């Protein structure tokens, strides 16, 4: 049974799993304002492109709880302000903007004052979440054909239940194969600097009873050379029209190594990760995070004081390295058109 | 000015820098027995193939300090026993066996009783150290031709002053280029699991005033794609006759990425790292270390309790990925004959 990464609390606050605390403890946190939601996204209490989009949409709802008595224009102004706040938290994942744009558009198209608009937003955020759960399952069903009994899959970062509203993207086919009784072994690259592989993917796979082995990112190459990896399954934070995609730093290196060793790499993502406005991956903005995430681990310095470090959170993998894109619509190939509104 | 990783103490104990404590503090430790030296090698207080060889040779001297009054055969028996103890500490680096074999051979070839043999061993261990210092400098001089002004070099793990008795192997050309006033920028891959890049290489480069930037191992690929790496310089723990070489886990992946991006990779090592008895890299034993080095960082768990992990300390890079081998004899190509006795 995979973990549930997000929910509404009883009083319409946003209930999240604080992913910074995993795997030590499972901390559930109720976010009571748009500011708290923005902070949670910025500090990666919640992360994963689909989950960020859902959380931001729900953040608008919680952030406007006290504006229900406002007249229409004041409500819409508050909505625009909070959408801006949330949009500024992470630059790379397109789902964030997709979800916020959808919320703003729906509110504008709804007649009435604050109360009516707020209720519409609440049901729209729930719909975004529900659609994501359904998309995850569809991705899992389409990807299941790629997962024969006995397969050894390498995944990077966390594109699982903790990255979505449902059972994940890259991990969805794995969960369904496991449910279907197929033997699957997952190699989990730890994913420095923030160790989402070791901390989150290994945790949620263990939670669901799927056998896995943690490796450092640097071990993937020799594992492929030893023919111990049958396929690579990763998520995506943004996919350009030509199929180039941004994902967690290290994905591009895995893609080159996979090509070199004849291992197919699949990118699993909902259509909402496709940004058809970008012809190719060169236009995807890459978030540069604080160097301290590299020079310290778990708060302890691992490099000398004052050491310079780079910390791009993502890299771009050109489409030519990708065997296929597993979406809720099936296993598809570029070019990609616009996502559904 | 590069750091000095090893020395004799005033009473012929082995004085080491405890590399586990870097970069937080510079701890110098005097090892008073062969057992203490074996423990220091096994627990990686000292590491780096050349330095391990020197330390083990000096460990025989300190371990036999109290056997100087022994008759010849008893002394040689004690020597064999302590050489066995030290040889069992790390399986991959050939320098360890090379240095111990040389010490045992020299003792057997020396006439006299314990006192004479011990003095001969002390001078032989000092000679191994001095030769290593000279070899490092020669490697630096030969490699200097590869380091033009303004070059950006990527290195992995630590093949510097902290891995040798002198100024390092892979870092030696960089130190000499820096001394000669050339601008050199070093990208230091942090080298999980034990972070020798971040902890040791960044520390010793900063100590010597050489500009460097730490990256996670997973960032090397996108850095190469962005043409920010002109060359890769790494050390070796063992080189087979055909040029296949074992080095820190992650080296093979860097080699594949380097080939893919047209970046030359050079392996810098003394001739004592060549094991001409092995036709190719398949025969190099690869040390598998405790999984806790992967599942915990700085003592703090980063994977869920009970998580499985792999932890091969090394991988093997086939010779076809290597642009050249920088040794004390020049920049050479395989096949390689035996190392000098």
The tens digit of pLDDT for each residue in B287-299 reads 999 999 999 987 8
pLDDT band at A207 (very low <50, low <70, confident <90, very high): very high
Tens of pLDDT, residue by residue over B106-146, are 999 999 999 999 999 999 999 999 999 999 999 999 999 99
Q: Say what the ipTM of the complex is.
A: 0.92
Element (H, E) at B153: strand B151-156
Q: Can you name the residues that pair with B14 across neighbouring β-strands?
A: B8, B31
Between CA A40 and CA A56 the distance in angstroms is 10
Tens of pLDDT, residue by residue over A126-166, are 999 999 999 999 999 999 999 999 999 999 999 999 999 99
CB A238 within 8 A of CB A325: no
pLDDT over threshold 70, residue B99 = yes
Between CA A199 and CA A220 the distance in angstroms is 18
Pairing status of strand A300-301 against strand B265-268: unpaired
CB B192 within 8 A of CB A190: yes
CATH fold, domain B139-332, is Rossmann fold (3.40.50)
Residues 6+ apart with CB under 8 A from A263: A154, A224, A229, A230, A231, A232, A257
Closest Cβ opposite residue B312 in set A222, A298, A308 = A222
Tens of pLDDT, residue by residue over A275-286, are 999 999 999 999
Q: What does pLDDT average to over chain A?
A: 95
Active-site position among A237, A244, A275, A315: A237
How does DSSP assign B190-240, residue by residue? --TTTTHIIIIIHHHHHHHT--EEEE-GGGHHHHHHTT--SEEEE--SEEE
The shares of helix, strand and coil residues in chain B, as percent rounded to the nearest 5, are 45, 20, 40
How confident is the model over A201-229, as a mean pLDDT? 97
Closest chain B residue to A156, measured at CA: B218
CB contact under 8 A, B304 and A216: no
Chain A residues touching B193 at Cβ < 8 A: 216
What's the farthest any 2 CA atoms get from each other in chain A? 65
Chain B interface, mutation test: which of A216, A244, A261, most B Cβ atoms within 10 Å? A216
At A338 the pLDDT is 61
Closest chain A residue to B20, measured at CA: A302
Q: What three-state secondary structure class fits A17?
A: strand
CA proximity to A57, closest of A119, A121, A4: A121
How confident is the model over A46-51, as a mean pLDDT? 94
Task: Give the E-state strand segments of B249-329 in sequence order.
Answer: 265-268, 274-275, 296-297, 300-301, 308-309, 314-317, 324-327
Between CA B335 and CA B279 the distance in angstroms is 9
Chain B residues touching A214 at Cβ < 8 A: 291, 294-295, 303, 307-310
CA proximity to A214, closest of B287, B189, B313, B292: B292
CB contact under 8 A, A307 and B199: no
Residues 6+ apart with CB under 8 A from B234: B155, B156, B157, B159, B170, B247, B248, B251, B254, B265, B266, B267, B268
CA proximity to A4, closest of A164, A176, A242, A174: A164
At B239 the pLDDT is 96
Domain ranges of chain B: 6-137, 139-332
Task: Give the E-state strand segments of B90-134 in sequence order.
Answer: none
At B341 the pLDDT is 44
CB A33 within 8 A of CB A65: no
At A155 the pLDDT is 98
How distant, in Å, are the alpha carbons of A28, A135, B140 from that of B213? 37, 41, 21
Closest Cβ opposite residue A304 in set B23, B260, B303 = B23
Q: Can you name the residues that pair with A30 across neighbouring β-strands?
A: A15
Chain A residues touching B320 at Cβ < 8 A: none
How confident is the model over A80-90, as a mean pLDDT? 97
Half-sphere exposure of B51 (CA within 13 A, CB side): 32
Closest Cβ opposite residue B23 in set A225, A250, A303 = A303
Chain B residues touching A312 at Cβ < 8 A: 219, 222
Between CA A152 and CA A147 the distance in angstroms is 9
The number of angstroms, rounded, from the C-alpha of B327 to the middle of its chain's C-alpha atoms is 14
Chain B residues touching A250 at Cβ < 8 A: 216-219, 221
CATH code for the part of the protein at B6-137 = 1.20.120.420
CB contact under 8 A, B216 and A307: no
The number of angstroms, rounded, from the C-alpha of B299 to the middle of its chain's C-alpha atoms is 24
How confident is the model over B177-200, as a mean pLDDT? 97
Half-sphere exposure of A302 (CA within 13 A, CB side): 29
Closest Cβ opposite residue A192 in set B192, B213, B308 = B192
CB contact under 8 A, B23 and A315: no
Alpha carbon of A57: minimum distance to chain B alpha carbons (Å): 31
Closest Cβ opposite residue A260 in set B190, B223, B260 = B260
Neighbours of A299 (CB within 10 A): 8
Q: What does pLDDT average to over chain B?
A: 95
Closest chain B residue to A192, measured at CA: B216
pLDDT band at A185 (very low <50, low <70, confident <90, very high): very high
CB B247 within 8 A of CB B191: no
pLDDT over threshold 50, residue A341 = no
CB contact under 8 A, B302 and A223: no
How confident is the model over B94-112, as a mean pLDDT? 96
């Amino acid at each position: 049974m995979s973990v549930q990464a997000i929910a509404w609390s009883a009083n319409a606050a946003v209930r999240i799993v604080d992913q910074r605390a995993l795997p030590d403890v499972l901390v559930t946190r109720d976010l009571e304002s748009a500011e708290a939601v923005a902070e949670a996204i910025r500090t990666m209490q919640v992360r994963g492109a689909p989950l960020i989009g859902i959380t931001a949409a729900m953040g608008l709802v919680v952030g406007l709880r006290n504006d229900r008595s406002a007249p229409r224009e004041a409500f819409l102004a508050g909505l625009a302000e909070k959408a801006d706040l949330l949009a500024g938290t992470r630059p790379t994942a397109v789902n964030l903007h997709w979800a916020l744009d959808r919320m703003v558009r729906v509110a504008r198209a709804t007649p009435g004052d604050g109360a009516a608009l707020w209720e519409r937003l609440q049901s729209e955020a729930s719909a975004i979440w529900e659609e994501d759960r359904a998309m995850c399952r569809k991705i899992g069903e389409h990807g299941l054909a790629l997962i024969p009994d006995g397969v050894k899959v390498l995944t990077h970062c966390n594109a699982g239940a903790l990255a979505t509203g449902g059972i994940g993207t890259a991990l969805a086919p794995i969960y369904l194969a496991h449910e279907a009784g197929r033997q699957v072994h997952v190699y989990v690259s730890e994913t420095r600097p923030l160790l989402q592989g070791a901390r989150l993917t290994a945790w949620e796979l263990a939670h669901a009873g799927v056998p896995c082995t943690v490796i450092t990112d640097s071990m993937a190459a020799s594992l492929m050379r030893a023919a111990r990896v049958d396929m690579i399954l990763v998520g995506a934070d943004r996919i350009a029209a030509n199929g180039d995609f941004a994902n967690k730093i290290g994905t591009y290196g895995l893609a080159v190594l996979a090509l070199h060793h004849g291992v197919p790499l699949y990118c699993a993502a909902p259509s909402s990760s496709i940004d058809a406005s970008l012809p190719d991956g060169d236009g995807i903005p890459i978030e540069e995070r604080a160097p301290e995430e590299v020079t310290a681990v778990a708060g302890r310095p691992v490099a000398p004081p004052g050491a310079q470090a780079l910390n791009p959170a993502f890299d771009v993998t050109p489409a030519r390295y990708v065997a296929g894109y597993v979406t809720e619509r099936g296993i598809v190939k570029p070019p990609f058109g616009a996502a559904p509104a």
